[in-house]
Amino acid sequence: MTHMKITISGTPGTGKTQTSKTLAKKLNYRLININNYAKDKNLIIGKDTYRKAQIIDEKKLKKESKNIQDNTIIEGHLAHYCKSDLTIILRTNPDTLRSRLKKRQWPKKKIEENIESEALDIILQEAVANNKNVFEIDTTKSTPQQTKATIINIIKNKESKKQHTPGEINWEKYIIPKKKHQHNLFKTNQR
C-alpha cells in the first residue's frame, strides 16, 4: 500500500468517524479529527450559536494542513478543505440521513439543513473544487467495514473508480417539495 494522506468527509451522519477509525486501524495510519485539529492549531474564529458549531477559518485550515504528514487519515465534515492524495466523500440517502440525525436528537431545522446540503451535493462540490483525486461512496446500506473495504479497493485500483466518480450519486428529488414533485410526475404521465 502506498504512503498517502487521505481525507474522509461528508454530511454529518454519513459514517465518516466510524469508517475512518476502521480504515486507520487497517492501514496503520494516524487518524486526525478535523475539529480537534482546528482547535489545537487555533483555527477556530468563532461560534455559530444557531448550529451549535465552531466556525473554522477554512483558508488557514487549508494552509496548515499541508504540514500533515503521509500515512494519515483526516476525517470530518470540513476535511475536504485539506490537501490530500485521496479525498473520499461519504454520501447517504437523505431519508436514511434524516433517521440517523434524529437518533442523535438534533433540532429539526439542523436536520433539514443537513438533508438539503446532502441533496445539493454541497460537500462534494467543495471537495472537487479543492482536490484532484475525489471519489464518492454511497454509505446508505453499508457498514463502516464495507465502506472501508471499498476505500481500500479504490486505493489498490481493484474497484472501478468510475462508479465512484463525483456526480454519480444523485439525491436531486429530495430538493423538490413532495407535493410539487408528485404534481410534475402526474403531468408527465398524462402526456
Asked if residue 30 lies in contact with residue 110, where contact means CB atoms within 8 angstroms, the answer is no
Across the 191 residues of the chain, what is the mean pLDDT of every consecutive 10-residue run?
Answer: 90 97 97 96 90 88 94 96 95 97 92 94 95 96 97 84 88 69 42 38
Give me the amino acid identity at 76. G
Q: What is the pLDDT of residue 52?
A: 75
**Strand 30-33 to strand 134-138: parallel, antiparallel, or no bridges (unpaired)?**
unpaired
pLDDT computed for residue 183 by the predictor:
42
Q: For the chain, which domains are there?
A: 5-190 (3.40.50.300)
- Number of C-beta neighbours around residue 166 at 10 A: 15
Closest among 128, 133, 122, 42 to 77, alpha carbons compared: 122
Per 3-state DSSP, what percentage of the chain is helix, strand, and coil (rounded to 5)? 50, 20, 30
Using CA atoms, how far apart are residues 26 and 6, in angstroms rounded to an integer?
13
Question: Rounded to the nearest 5 degrees, what angle is found at the Cα of 86, between the Cα atoms of 83 and 92?
Answer: 105
Question: Cα separation of 147 and 144, whole Å?
Answer: 5
Q: Is 24 exposed, middle or buried (CB count within 10 Å of its CB: 0-12, 13-18, 19+)?
A: buried
Q: Which amino acid is at 87?
A: T
Q: Phi and psi of 139, rounded to 5°?
A: -105, 10
* Contact of 85 with 4, CB cutoff 8 Å: yes
pLDDT number for residue 180: 47
Task: Round to whole Å and give the CA distance between 54 and 85.
Answer: 27
Residue 176: what pLDDT? Answer: 61
d(CA 81, CA 117): 16
Q: Which three cell numbers stand for residue 19?
A: 469508517
Report pLDDT for 159. Answer: 64
Q: What is the dihedral of CA 41, 46, 52, 56, to 10 degrees?
A: -40
Residue 44 zone, left/alpha/beta (φ > 0; ψ -120 to 50; rest): beta
